[in-house]
Amino acid sequence: MRQKPLVGLIMGSRSDWETMKHAAEILENFNIQYEKKIVSAHRTPDLLYQYAESAEERGLKVIIAGAGGAAHLPGMVAAKTIVPVLGVPIKSAALNGLDSLLSIAQMPGGIPVGTLAIGKAGAKNAGLLAVSILANNDVSLKERIHHFRKVQAKEALVEPWEN
Ligand SMILES: Nc1c(C(=O)O)ncn1[C@@H]1O[C@H](COP(=O)(O)O)[C@@H](O)[C@H]1O
């Protein structure tokens, strides 16, 4: 039987997938059950409400939301659920993602969104943060994160003149 998704990976547009696929890659590498979906506060507001309102009872533990420009998606999702929301600012063409970053980060007190860096690194880190949150209740996942960090540290020291 397929397990229920623990992480919801959503994005405002299909054009965000190039960035958000880096979060998906992390979730897949750690073998986390997740679902992915295009949801937009602007273009599909009813779907957004439905998605956010049902997230908790559907068993989602973390939502990763990527959006660019007037990036209202993460904040609006957070307004409608108590499931933790991690926001990924997509690098926009007009303002290089600074618009996305500020739209996601500058939430009013009371409705938190954990904001990551702009673009690929932010998406990757959102995936890793979701894994860390889930690992609080999963010892074997914790061990795998420790292993990931060890491998990463080793790789960081590979010198460019080595072959
Ligand atoms: N920021 C939002 C929201 C939202 O916040 O709900 N919905 C779409 N968008 C963003 O519009 C940008 C351009 O979208 P298109 O490429 O589809 O024109 C995308 O980065 C998307 O996240």
- Domains of the chain: which residue ranges? 7-138
Q: Mean pLDDT across the chain, nearest whole number?
A: 97
Residues 56-80 have a mean pLDDT of 98
CA atoms of 61 and 77, how far apart (whole Å): 14
Is the pLDDT at 163 greater than 70? The verdict is: no
Q: Is the pLDDT of residue 162 over 90?
A: no
CB 70 within 8 A of CB 99: yes
Q: What is the pLDDT of residues 78-124, one digit of tens each?
A: 999 999 999 999 999 999 999 999 999 999 999 999 999 999 999 99
Nearest-CA residue for ligand 1 atom 17 is 13
The arithmetic mean of pLDDT across residues 122-131, rounded, is 98
Across 45-84, b (16+ Cβ under 10 Å) vs e yields eeebbebbeebeeeebbbbbbbbbbebbbbbbbbbbbebb
Residue of minimum CA distance from atom 20 in ligand 1: 68
**Which CATH entry fits the domain spanning 7-138: 3.40.430.10, 3.40.50.1970, 3.40.250.10, 1.10.287.70?**
3.40.50.1970
The answer to whether the CB of 144 falls within 8 A of the CB of 115 is: no
Token representation of residue 3: 């397990």
Half-sphere exposure of 61 (CA within 13 A, CB side): 17
Helix axes 98-105, 73-80, angle to 10 degrees: 20
What mean pLDDT do residues 115-144 have? 98
Average pLDDT for 13-33:
98
Number of the ligand 1 atom closest to the C-alpha atom of 74: 5
The torsion region of residue 59 among left (phi > 0), alpha (psi -120 to 50) and beta comes to left
Helix and strand numbers, DSSP H then E, in the chain: 6, 5
As a whole number of angstroms, the distance between CA 98 and CA 74 comes to 15
- Of 4 and 1, the structure prediction assigns the larger pLDDT to 4
pLDDT of residue 82: 98
- Residue 118, burial from CB neighbour count under 10 angstroms (0-12, 13-18, 19+): buried
> Ligand 1: residues whose CB is within 6 Å?
12-13, 15-16, 40-43, 67-73, 90
pLDDT at 1 exceeding the cut of 80: no
Position 3 scores a pLDDT of: 86
Residue 109 CA to ligand 1 center (angstroms) comes to 24
CB neighbours of 132 closer than 8 A, spacing ≥ 6? 145
